Chains A and B, each alone.
Chain A
Amino acid sequence: NAGVTQTPKFQVLKTGQSMTLQCAQDMNHEYMSWYRQDPGMGLRLIHYSVGAGITDQGEVPNGYNVSRSTTEDFPLRLLSAAPSQTSVYFCASSYSAGYSYGYTFGSGTRLTVV
């Protein structure tokens, strides 16, 4: 049971480039989300999904796109990378019913935009 898998683990982009951060879970979780972690800011929600075909914006959605075509996958797309998007990105998933289990997080993608 792999849990939540994020790829790549590290990435360096030039300003203006686009890329997709991959997230896959094998726990049949309905809820998936993307967070970014910046120094002194904690984790902030970018986008989330409550099921296949359903996505919504979180606290800091600008510059990012998501889609949820399957239960397992929830990719995060950076449309035109900016230095302000340098961060560590975490994908998380959970059961849809209740919060008792908390989230299961991936190990993160460290992104640097130069």
Chain B
Amino acid sequence: DQQVKQNSPSLSVQEGRISILNCDYTNSMFDYFLWYKKYPAEGPTFLISISSIKDKNEDGRFTVFLNKSAKHLSLHIVPSQPGDSAVYFCAASGPTGANNLFFGTGTRLTVIP
């Protein structure tokens, strides 16, 4: 059963506007959440993360919000740029003693110039 879900397989946004990518999780033991960005024929690259003790983390144009009660997180990209077009994966990990990550199925973001 998928413990991390990204229910929107794709999203299209105009350049300059805000992109909002959503992610839901089912395991309340998850305590760390990450977003990865993936271009075709490349491996995923780490984008931004958030600990469960926070509800927001910001890095430049990227902000991740965490709502623990709803088991929901979102990635905001403002302003969106054509170079942001990629597949975005949400991932989560828990206090298992290892660094294993559980990934969502990804959302393909297309930023239209």
Task: Using known A-B contacts A33-B100, A48-B100, A56-B98, determine if residue A99 contacts B43 with beta carbons closer than 8 Å.
Answer: no
Partner of B49, one of A99, A104, A107: A99
B18 interface residue per 8 A CB criterion: no
Q: How far is the CA of A7 from the CA of B46 in the complex (A)?
A: 21
- Residue pairs across A and B with CB atoms within 8 Å: the count is 63
Chain B interface helix/strand/loop/mixed: loop
CB pair A102–B100 under 8 Å, yes or no, is: no
Contact B43 A90 (CB under 8 A): yes
List, in ascending order, chain A residues with CB within 8 A of B32's CB. 99
Of all chain B residues, the one with the shortest Cβ separation from A6 is B43
B34 in the interface (beta carbon within 8 A): yes
Are A43 and B49 in contact (CB-based, < 8 A)?
Answer: no
Q: Mark A82-106, 1 if CB is under 8 A from B, else 0.
A: 0000000010101010011111111
- Which of B59-67, B71-79, B103-111 participates in binding chain A? B103-111
On chain A, the number of residues with a Cβ less than 8 Å from chain B's Cβ atoms is 28
Given A43-B89, A56-B98, A96-B99, does the pair A108, B43 have CB atoms closer than 8 Å?
Answer: yes
Q: Which A residues are in CB contact (< 8 Å) with B43?
A: 4, 90, 92, 105-108
| Minimum C-beta distance from B38 to chain A (A) | 9
B residues with a Cβ closer than 8 A to A are 2, 4, 6, 32, 34, 36, 41-46, 49, 89, 93, 98-106
Q: Which residues of A contact B (CB under 8 A)?
A: 4, 31, 33, 35, 40-45, 48, 50, 56, 58, 90, 92, 94, 96, 99-108
* Interchain Cβ contacts under 8 Å between A and B, 17 examples: A4-B43, A42-B89, A42-B104, A42-B105, A43-B44, A45-B100, A45-B102, A48-B100, A56-B98, A99-B99, A101-B46, A102-B34, A103-B46, A103-B99, A104-B46, A105-B36, A108-B42
